[in-house]
């Protein structure tokens, strides 16, 4: 925890939507009692256009014998209407999406009116394919406007979308399709990033060869690069021929507030990725409300969230919240290094971007290339910066603040999770001096607690596990197909609380500093990967017997992946085999699961009950060979020296 704090420039404070006094007063009021919290959310629900206004606000119990999470349960609405139709009267020609293509010569501006028409066309076409309310639709898309059109078209007709990150493998896509039993897949011929192509359609074909994917009746393919791709019989349809001639009027499905909106798969500490389910009314109320507070939104903001639509940030803060608020959202197809590392700055100048929301890993990658690239642009349109995904280190914070933001833009460090639907902790800009690395304060209606391993909530300055003691409208409702796992993962460790899986420190001023995951989830470039998932990918290679995967410090990605692997008898360790193992894991999960270090070992450190002691491996992976902590539960203490030998020989 650094003691340095950065007061916010008086000009910003003077123009900010929220004052320090207002935040202090309204926050206290919003958590004073359940009735007060309900009153707060009832007032925020006024930001939404309801078909039927809710009369019941919350209906929540974390008691496992009587468990329920419902918000606005008698309300009815349609999300696409909130994102599109309601802006058509006052602002039909305002840009809804500014799309910047992979190559700097290519961009497109899509107004709310145009986006509305496109969503209606696709919605009608999907209905003709037999997609009905409640059906699941998988999206496997590059960062092109049709990804947002696809999500909104699902919302229009009441289908539940499941966006799968375009960087995931065919295998990962297939598993998600099997779990969700999607009827339809929307994809593109290829993705294009940094002038490199990703074979999206070919991956879909491979995924649909997997057993258990028969639920998929059609694949809609957007023509992006134009390279020829095999189109199979009646199953595959080109997007442009499908929507051609469709009407620009599409009756929105009436959705109950608690009807599902989307599934998004995320990694947990055990087992396969879980389908986090979000519902309609609470999710959008929370998304919109937090968006306005945290980003101090004004009518003329041009807002750029760099997250891919395949992650929750791309759902909540690149798509739903800005569009519901009528804010222009910038979508970038490419990568920050193409054609040069100056690209991000050039995009900011080109589109007059006022708010930039990105991840520490991207900031570190740009920082490493030096200041000159960023200084090719003037970035004078910027007024606010945000970060998300992982703790930001003070050097990266300083660089973001001083170089990217020219020392006049506050940085909002936003802590949240796929499960939370929206931001829970952040400094509302203008209300508090910033501390680099701290997510600072709870948002309205959120009651965080720091809890020790015995389950005691700690007072004052403290360090422990982060839990939330109440509910908020954007909270996930279940794990798709596995409600029991939902209860066990989040509500059983500390009864009566939502358990986040993160460690936290609360300082003397009551500000929160996230310290990272306390479970077996890695955070690689701000993306979650379960050690169990990677281990089972390694185990599935014919040359291996067993693997243990841990995180290790990584300069750019924040956390890198380190695998300790035992080979089958007769297999010989070689650089070639290691490269092959890495290729195997990347093709099983996706390129983000790159193994940064591989140690071939004869044994793994296990407890007498057979559990791998990852703590020891984490220390070794970080090059720490002494002070390994309590080793008394280790079944065979001689393994430590053997492991140290292997690691030392390789580093
Ligand atoms: C939104 C998102 C969630 C995990 C979370 C935590 C880490 C996110 C953070 C942060 C420190 C921040 N995390 N934001 N850690 N400071 N501002 O990233 O969702 O992909 O589900 O990841 O990311 O560990 O538990 P998700």
Element of type H or E holding 356: strand 355-358
pLDDT of residue 417: 97
pLDDT of residue 335: 97
Name the phi and psi angles at 183, rounded to 5.
Answer: -90, -25
Say if residues 243 and 116 touch (Cβ distance below 8 Å).
no
Q: Which numbered atom of ligand 1 lies nearest the CA of 516? A: 24
Mutational test site, ligand 1, from 359, 363, 390, 392, max ligand atoms within 8 Å of CB:
390
- The Cα 143–Cα 192 span in angstroms is 9
Rounded to whole angstroms, what are the CA distances from 239 to 111, 113, 133, 142, 225? 20, 20, 21, 14, 13
Task: Confirm or reject: Cβ of 468 under 6 Å from ligand 1.
Answer: no
Choose among 250, 184, 186: nearest CA to 217.
Answer: 184
- Cis amide linkage into residue 339, ω under 30° from 0: yes
Supply 198's token pair: 């990703």
pLDDT of residue 269: 79
pLDDT of residue 54: 98
Mutational test site, ligand 1, from 425, 504, 528, 530, max ligand atoms within 8 Å of CB:
528
Q: Which residues fall in the annotated binding site?
A: 193-196, 313, 389-391, 413-418, 502, 517, 525, 528, 541, 586
395-406 as b/e: b if 16+ CB within 10 A:
ebbbbbbebbbe
CA atoms within 13 A on the CB side of 645: 8
Say if residues 60 and 86 touch (Cβ distance below 8 Å).
no
Name the phi and psi angles at 193, rounded to 5.
Answer: -140, 125
Tally of residues, the chain? 651
Look at the alpha carbons of 219, 224, 225, 227 in this order and tell me if their dihedral is positive or negative. positive
Coil vs helix vs strand at 159? coil
Q: Which numbered atom of ligand 1 lies nearest the CA of 501? A: 25
Choose among 93, 119, 152: nearest CA to 250.
Answer: 119
Task: Confirm or reject: Cβ of 413 under 6 Å from ligand 1.
Answer: yes
To which residue do tokens 């409208």 refer? 473
What are the tens digits of pLDDT across the range 591-641? 999 999 999 999 999 888 778 888 899 999 999 998 888 888 888 888 999
Q: Which segments of the chain have a pLDDT < 50?
A: none
Mutational test site, ligand 1, from 277, 416, 443, max ligand atoms within 8 Å of CB:
416
Say if residues 349 and 381 touch (Cβ distance below 8 Å).
yes
pLDDT of residue 3: 65
Beta strands in 454-535, from DSSP E residues, in sequence order? 457-458, 462-468, 478-479, 498-506, 512-517, 521-524, 527-530
Task: Confirm or reject: Cβ of 523 under 6 Å from ligand 1.
Answer: yes
pTM of the model: 0.94
Q: Are strands 462-468 and 498-506 parallel, antiparallel or unpaired?
A: antiparallel
Element of type H or E holding 140: strand 136-140
CA atoms within 13 A on the CB side of 631: 14
Q: Which residues fall in the annotated binding site for CoA?
A: 193-196, 313, 525, 586
What are the tens digits of pLDDT across the range 539-595? 999 999 999 999 999 999 999 999 999 999 999 999 999 999 999 999 999 999 999
pLDDT of residue 2: 55
Task: Confirm or reject: Cβ of 414 under 6 Å from ligand 1.
Answer: yes
Minimum CA distance residue for ligand 1 atom 26:
417
Rounded to whole angstroms, what are the CA distances from 107 to 222, 305, 330? 17, 16, 10
Give distance in angstroms: CA of 197 to centre of ligand 1.
29
- The Cα 426–Cα 421 span in angstroms is 14
- The Cα 173–Cα 589 span in angstroms is 9
Rounded to whole angstroms, what are the CA distances from 38 to 35, 112, 281, 446, 472? 5, 32, 14, 12, 10
Angle between helices 145-157 and 112-128 (to 10 degrees): 60
- The Cα 502–Cα 484 span in angstroms is 21
Secondary-structure percent of the chain, ordered helix, strand, coil, rounded to 5: 35, 25, 40
- The Cα 483–Cα 492 span in angstroms is 13
Task: Confirm or reject: Cβ of 290 under 6 Å from ligand 1.
Answer: no
Name the phi and psi angles at 466, rounded to 5.
Answer: -90, 125
What is the per-residue DSSP string for 8-29? PPHHHHHH-SS-HHHHHHHHHH
ipTM over 0.90: yes
- The Cα 496–Cα 122 span in angstroms is 43
Task: Confirm or reject: Cβ of 266 under 6 Å from ligand 1.
Answer: yes
- The Cα 283–Cα 273 span in angstroms is 21
């Amino acid at each position: 925890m650094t003691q340095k704090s950065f007061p916010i420039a008086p000009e910003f404070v003077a123009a900010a939507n929220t004052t320090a006094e207002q935040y202090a007063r309204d926050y206290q009021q919003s958590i004073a009692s359940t009735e007060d919290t309900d009153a707060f959310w009832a007032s925020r629900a006024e930001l939404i256009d309801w078909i039927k206004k809710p009369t019941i606000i919350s209906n929540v119990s974390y008691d496992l014998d009587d468990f329920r999470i419902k918000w606005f349960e008698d309300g009815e609405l349609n999300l696409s209407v909130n994102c599109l139709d309601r802006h058509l009267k006052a602002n039909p020609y305002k840009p809804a999406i500014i799309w910047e293509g992979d190559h700097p010569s290519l961009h497109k501006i899509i107004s709310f009116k145009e986006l509305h028409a496109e969503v209606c066309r696709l919605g009608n076409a999907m209905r003709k394919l037999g997609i009905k309310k409640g059906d699941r639709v998988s999206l496997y898309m590059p960062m092109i406007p049709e990804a947002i059109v696809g999500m909104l078209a699902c919302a229009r007709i009441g289908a539940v979308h499941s966006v799968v990150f375009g960087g995931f493998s065919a295998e990962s896509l297939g598993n998600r399709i099997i779990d969700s039993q999607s009827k339809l897949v929307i994809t593109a011929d290829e993705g294009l990033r940094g002038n490199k192509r990703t074979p999206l359609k070919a991956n879909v074909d491979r995924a649909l060869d997997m057993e258990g994917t028969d639920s998929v009746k059609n694949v809609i393919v957007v023509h992006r690069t134009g390279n020829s791709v095999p189109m199979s019989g009646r199953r595959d349809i080109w997007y442009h021929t499908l929507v051609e001639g469709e009407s620009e009027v599409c009756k929105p499905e009436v959705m109950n507030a608690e009807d599902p909106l989307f599934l998004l798969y995320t990694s947990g500490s055990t087992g396969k990725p879980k389908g986090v389910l979000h519902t309609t009314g609470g999710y959008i109320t929370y998304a919109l409300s937090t968006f306005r507070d945290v980003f101090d939104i004004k009518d003329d903001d041009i807002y750029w969230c760099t997250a891919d639509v395949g992650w929750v940030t791309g759902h909540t803060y690149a798509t739903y919240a800005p569009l519901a608020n009528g804010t222009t959202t910038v979508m970038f197809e490419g990568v920050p290094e193409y054609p040069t590392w100056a690209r991000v700055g050039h995009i900011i100048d080109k589109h007059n971007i006022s708010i930039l929301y990105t991840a520490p890993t991207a900031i570190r990658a740009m920082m490493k290339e030096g200041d000159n690239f960023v200084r090719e642009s003037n970035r004078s349109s910027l007024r606010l910066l945000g970060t998300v995904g992982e703790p930001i280190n003070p050097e990266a914070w300083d660089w973001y603040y001083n170089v990217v933001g020219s020392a006049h833009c506050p940085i909002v460090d936003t802590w949240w999770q796929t499960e939370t639907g929206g931001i829970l902790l952040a400094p509302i800009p203008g209300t508090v001096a910033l501390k680099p690395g701290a997510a600072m304060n709870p948002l309205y209606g959120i009651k965080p607690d720091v809890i020790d391993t015995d389950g005691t909530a700690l007072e004052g300055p403290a360090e422990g596990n982060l839990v939330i003691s109440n509910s908020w409208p954007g909270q996930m409702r279940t794990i798709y197909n596995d409600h029991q796992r939902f209860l066990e993962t989040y509500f059983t460790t500390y009864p009566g609380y939502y358990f986040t899986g993160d460690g936290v420190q609360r300082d003397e001023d009551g500000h929160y500093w996230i310290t990272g995951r306390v479970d077996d989830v890695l955070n690689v470039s701000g993306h979650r990967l379960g050690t169990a998932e990677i281990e089972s990918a390694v185990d599935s290679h014919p040359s291996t017997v067993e693997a243990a995967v841990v995180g290790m410090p990584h300069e750019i990605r924040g956390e890198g992946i380190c695998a300790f692997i035992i080979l089958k008898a007769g297999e010989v360790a070689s650089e070639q085999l290691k490269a092959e193992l890495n290729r195997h894991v990347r093709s099983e999960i996706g390129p983000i699961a790159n193994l940064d270090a591989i140690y071939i070992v004869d044994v793994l450190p296990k407890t007498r009950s057979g559990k791998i002691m990852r703590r020891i491996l984490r220390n070794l992976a970080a090059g720490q060979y002494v002070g390994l902590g309590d080793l008394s539960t280790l079944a065979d203490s001689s393994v430590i020296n053997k492991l140290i030998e292997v690691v030392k020989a390789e580093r």
